């Protein structure tokens, strides 16, 4: 970031403007996403400070982003902070956001999901005295609206309630395991070092949306296990079923590879075993056991703006998170990666962790997860698809969350085939002795 002069001129023709009222004065922010056929050349968020003749502005140019303190009386720039090489995104539907944080005297902006990891530029006002601190606090607190300017034909803007302050934890742990250090270290950037450091930052389910809490209550209990008294080798049997020709899992995966529904060939296949029925409050049946063979992965996809809980029942799954679902290749680089192992739980909510890719990077066993989904009560659209990026042409397509088989039927088939294999193995042992 640099404090510099800039000679770029604001376009004389601004096609669209919208004034968005903040939900809390001086706090939270506004996001705006284009709806045209081409990217904008200029985007501005203007935050007027009442009775001072000053505006805080965030300006996004084609090749840079600026935070500007602007005098609306003299029409002069008081101060300008610039982040070069990060400007207008080539995706016309890209979301841009601005966050105001009165408590920490800061303004920030970013691209994609509204979160710390997608931040492109921020500035924190310095206070050398208590008087300075009060002036800055009052300045922020007087901001009640943000006016959004686009030079494109259409965009959609909305307000969000809370400022972007810290990186949110991905891993959920039981409340009785949360320590004082877990809470104290939540905003410590040093915690983000080391291998798979995302799992060192944790939260509890009570901190997440109500729909996540309801899903978690269904699948996080001690008795919700793959291996049970009636089938203690279930996980091992599934692994055997995947690699054994003629068994259901093996043959189904071959069938799905030939169908190539995601465009990624054999390695972009997995099994979806559903539990229960579609109750009309989720994309497809809400509870799905997913089976990921060694080296297999999903396409990059979203989750229909639904909430979700993912628990690893066996093995390990690697999660790549993306700031947006985009057919633009440069937007298909993950901003965060974490690997979750058996008994780990992670989460998804509307607008947070919504776009990901799952991969089984293990060399020795399949990964088996339970995934469950539910719309928020405020969601009246109920979009029934997961949008994904087809690997063959990078186009965004729709996937209806289907079922390869119901859980009870699947368990019976795997158990029957496992027991037959065990009998055959025992017979071979007897013949060789």
User: Coil, strand, or helix at residue 80?
Assistant: strand
Check whether 429 has a pLDDT greater than 90: no
Q: What's residue 425's pLDDT?
A: 77
What is residue 5's predicted lDDT score, i.e. its pLDDT? 47
The answer, yes or no, to whether residue 3 has pLDDT greater than 60, is no
Q: Is the CA virtual torsion 209, 211, 217, 218 positive or negative?
A: negative
pLDDT at 409 over 60: yes
Looking at residue 74, its pLDDT comes to: 84
Query: Is the pLDDT at 380 greater than 90, yes or no?
Result: yes
Instruction: Specify which of 37-41, 138-142, 391-395, 412-416 reaches the highest per-range mean pLDDT.
Output: 412-416
Give the per-residue pLDDT at 186.
Answer: 61
Q: Give the per-residue pLDDT at 4.
A: 47
pLDDT for 242 beyond 90: yes
Average pLDDT over residues 59-66: 96
Per DSSP, the three-state class of 401 is coil
Reported confidence tier of residue 431, pLDDT bands at 50, 70, 90: low
Among the ranges given (144-158, 236-250, 293-307, 343-357), the one the predictor scored with the smallest mean pLDDT:
144-158
* CB of 147 closer than 8 Å to CB of 17: yes
The predicted structure's pLDDT at residue 69: 93
What pLDDT is stored for residue 16 in this prediction?
Answer: 78
Q: Name the pLDDT band for 333 (thresholds 50, 70, 90).
A: very high
Instruction: Write down the mean pLDDT value for the chain.
Output: 92
What is the per-residue pLDDT for 223?
Answer: 97
Contact between 282 and 306 under an 8 Å Cβ cutoff? The reply is yes
- Flag whether 301 is marked binding: yes
Q: How many other C-beta atoms are found inside a 10 Å radius of the C-beta of residue 41?
A: 14
The Cα angle at residue 187 between residues 161 and 192, in degrees rounded to 5: 120
Residue 199: band (very low, low, confident or very high) from pLDDT cuts 50, 70, 90: low
Distance, CA of 315 to CA of 26 (rounded, Å): 46
Give the rounded percent of residues in the chain with a pLDDT score beyond 70: 91
What distances in angstroms separate CA 285 from CA 110, 360, 374, 384, one per listed residue? 34, 23, 10, 10
CB 307 within 8 A of CB 379: no
* Rounded-to-integer distance, Cα 216 and Cα 258, Å: 35
d(CA 366, CA 349): 26
Spatial separation of the C-alpha atoms in residues 45 and 17, rounded to whole Å: 10
Which secondary structure element, helix H or strand E, spans residue 258, and what is its range?
helix 248-259
Predicted model pTM: 0.92
The pLDDT score that the predictor gives to residue 343 is: 98
Q: Is 356 annotated as a binding residue?
A: yes
Has residue 394 got a pLDDT over 90?
Answer: yes
Contacts 24+ apart (CB under 8 A), 56-59: 56/100, 56/107, 56/143, 58/98, 58/107, 58/109, 58/121, 59/10
pLDDT tens column, 70-114: 888 888 888 999 999 999 999 999 999 999 999 999 999 999 999
Domains of the chain: residue spans and CATH: 16-160 (2.60.120.200), 208-420 (2.60.120.10)
pLDDT at res. 424: 85
Start-to-end CA span in the chain (Å): 75
- Window from 51-55, 112-116, 421-425 with minimum mean pLDDT: 51-55
Residue 137 in marked binding region: no
Question: What pLDDT sits at residue 415?
Answer: 98
Task: Provide the pLDDT confidence category of residue 146 given band limits of 50, 70 and 90.
Answer: very high
Confidence (pLDDT) at 433: 60
C-beta separation of 381 from 305 below 8 A: yes
């Amino acid at each position: 970031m640099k404090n510099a002069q800039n000679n770029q001129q604001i376009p004389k023709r601004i096609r669209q403007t919208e004034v968005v009222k903040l939900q809390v004065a001086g706090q939270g922010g506004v996001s705006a996403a284009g709806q045209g056929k081409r990217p904008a050349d200029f985007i501005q968020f203007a935050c007027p400070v009442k009775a001072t003749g000053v505006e805080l502005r965030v300006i996004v140019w084609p090749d840079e982003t600026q935070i500007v303190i602007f005098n609306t009386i003299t029409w002069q720039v008081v101060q300008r902070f610039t982040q070069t090489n990060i400007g207008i995104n080539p995706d016309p539907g890209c979301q841009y956001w601005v966050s105001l944080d009165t408590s920490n005297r800061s303004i920030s902006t970013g691209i994609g999901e509204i979160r710390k990891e997608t931040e492109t530029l921020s500035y924190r006002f310095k206070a050398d005295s208590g008087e300075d601190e009060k002036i800055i606090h009052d300045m922020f607190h007087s901001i009640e609206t943000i006016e959004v300017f686009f030079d494109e034909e259409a965009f959609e803007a909305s307000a969000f309630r809370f400022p972007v302050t810290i990186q949110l934890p991905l891993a959920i742990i039981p409340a009785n395991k949360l320590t004082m250090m877990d809470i104290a270290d939540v905003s410590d950037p040093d915690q983000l070092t080391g291998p798979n450091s995302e799992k060192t930052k944790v939260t509890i389910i009570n901190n997440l949306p109500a729909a996540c809490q309801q899903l978690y209550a269904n699948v996080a209990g001690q008795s919700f296990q793959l291996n049970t008294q009636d089938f203690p080798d279930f996980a091992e049997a599934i692994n055997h079923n995947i690699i054994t020709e003629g068994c259901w899992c093996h043959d189904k995966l071959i069938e799905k590879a030939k169908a190539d529904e995601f465009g990624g060939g054999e390695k972009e296949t997995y099994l979806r075993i559903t539990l229960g029925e579609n109750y009309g409050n989720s994309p497809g049946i809400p509870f799905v056991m997913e089976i990921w063979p060694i080296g297999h992965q999903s396409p990059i996809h979203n989750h229909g703006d639904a909430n979700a809980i993912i628990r690893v029942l066996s093995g390990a799954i690697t999660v790549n998170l993306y700031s947006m679902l985009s057919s633009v290749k440069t937007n298909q680089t993950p901003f965060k990666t974490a690997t979750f192992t058996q008994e780990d739980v992670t989460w998804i909510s509307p607008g947070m962790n919504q776009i990901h890719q799952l991969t089984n990077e293990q060399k020795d066993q399949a990964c088996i997860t339970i995934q469950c989904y539910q719309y928020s009560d405020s969601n009246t659209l109920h979009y029934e698809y997961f949008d994904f990026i087809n690997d063959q042409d990078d186009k965004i397509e729709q996937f209806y969350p289907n079922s390869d088989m119901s859980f009870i039927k699947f368990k019976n088939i795997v158990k029957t085939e496992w027991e037959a294999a065990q009998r055959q193995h025992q017979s071979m042992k007897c013949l060789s002795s």
